[in-house]
Chain A
Amino acid sequence: MEIGIKLNGRMLSDNIDADLLLIDWLRDKGCFSVKRGCETSNCGLCTVLMDGKPVLSCSMLAARASGHEIMTLEGLQEEASEFVGFLADQGTDQCGFCNPGFVMNTIALLRENPDPTDDEILSYLAGNLCRCSGYNGQLRGIRAFLDSRKK
C-alpha cells in the first residue's frame, strides 16, 4: 500500500506491507537512533514524535502514520544538543542504549512543560526504562540544565 510521511522535514512516499511497524520503516530509512528495546510497549526506546507528540514507533503501523509528520533524533540534533551535555556531565549513561528514547521524550517534556518540577520530570519519563542506572543521573542532568537556563 502507498503511504506518504513527512520524515524529519522531508516528504517521503513509499509502498509498504500493511503490517509494517513504524519503527521498521524508520530504520529502513536510515534513522538508526530509533531502536527496539522490548516487544511489549514498555521501554520507550523507540520514541519518536508524531505531529509533535511522543509515541512508541514499535507499537504503531507505518500505515497509521501516513499523512503525518514524524521526527526522530536525527532531525532534532540541535534541540537535543541544548541539554545532552548536562546528562553526560552527570554520568547518566552506562551502556547508553536507552539514551535516544530518553532524549526524545525529554524534548517532548520540555516543549510541553518548559519548567517542570522533579515529580513532573519523573512522571513524564516513567515510560523510559534504563537497565543500568537508577534514574538519578537523568534527573540530576535535566535539573542542572533547567537551573542553567535560569542563571
Chain B
Amino acid sequence: MLTIKEYVRASSLEEAYELNQKRNNRIVGGMLWMKMQSGSIGTAIDLCDLGLDTIEETDEEFSIGAMVTLRQLELCESLNEYSCGAVKAAVKDIIGVQFRNLATVGGSIYGRFGFSDVLTVFLAMDTYVELYKGGIVSLEDFSKMKYDSDILVRIIVRKTRAKIIYNAMRIQRTDYPVITAALSKLGDEYRAVIGARPGRAVIIRDENGLLDGGVSSESADAFARFVASKAQTQSNMRGSAEYRTHLVKGLTERNVMEIGG
C-alpha cells in the first residue's frame, strides 16, 4: 500500500523541483504506476496547475507537456498525421480509455519502463525531453540515463520528414506487450526500435546499409535478421528469449515491407 503524508499542487516548476529534492517526496503524474508500489511518500507534488497539459505545434516541432495524457496523444490529429498513426497504434491497447485519460506522457517517459509502448514509439521519432535543470536531451540519451530528481517538463518531437510504423505483440488485448517493434525512416535513416525485450527499448540503426538499395523481400529479411541479432532479449513470464527474438524478426520484416521504399 502507498501512503502519502502531504499533497501539494506546485505553483511553479522551481517549487516542484525544490520539493522533489527530498528523498521521500515524489512528482505525481497519472499516479497509475506509483499506486502499484508500496511505501510511504512524504509529499506528493502535483504538476497539474502548471499548464503542462497541452500539445503545441509549430512548423518545426510538437511540444507535448508532461501532464498530457495518453488519451490526448491518441486523439491528437496532427501528431497522428505526422506519425502516420503510429502514436495512436502504440497507446490504443494500454488498458482502456479511462486509464489513458489519467496516464501521463511525463510519467510514461520518466519511468523508462522496459515494456513501454510509449517509449518505443517516441524513440522512433526525432524526440527530445526537456528537463527542468538538465535542459534538452535526446530521448535516446535520456532512455539510458539513471533516475534522478529532475523534472521532465515536456517532450519535443522535431518534424523531421518521417514514415513510421508501430506494431506490438500482446498475448491478450490490454495486457503488457511481449515485444514492441517500431520502424521509422527519418530523413534517409532507417531505425528499428525494439522494446519489452523485456528490457528498455533500444534503437537499432541500419548501420550496414541493408536497406540502401531499396525495400524488397530480400532486403527486409536481411534487415530483420540483423535487428534480431542486435536486440538482446530475455525470458520472463510473458515469453522466452527465443520467442521474443523470433517476434523481433517477424515484426521487423513486416514493418519494413509496410514502410516500403
Contacts and interface: CB of A to CB of B under 8 A. Distances in A.
Interface of B: 2-7, 28, 30-32, 35-36, 41, 44, 46, 48, 71, 92-93, 95-99, 101-102, 173-174
A12 to B, nearest CB: 18
The secondary structure that dominates the A interface is mixed
Given A44-B96, A54-B97, A55-B102, A126 B32 contact: no
A64 B46 CA distance: 8
B44 A61 contact: yes
A53 interface: yes
A126 B98 CA distance: 10
Contacts of B36: 40-41
Contacts, number: 80
Report, as a range, how many residues of chain A touch the other chain: 20 to 34
Nearest to A123: B92
Question: In the complex, which of the residues B4, B44, B96, B98 has the most CB atoms of chain A within 10 Å of its own CB atom?
Answer: B98
Interface of A: 1, 18-19, 40-42, 44, 47, 50, 53-56, 59-61, 63-64, 105, 108-109, 123-128
A19 B4 contact: yes
Given A59-B32, A59-B35, A127-B174, A18 B6 contact: yes
Contact of A19 (B2, B48, B93): B2
A108 B95 CA distance: 16
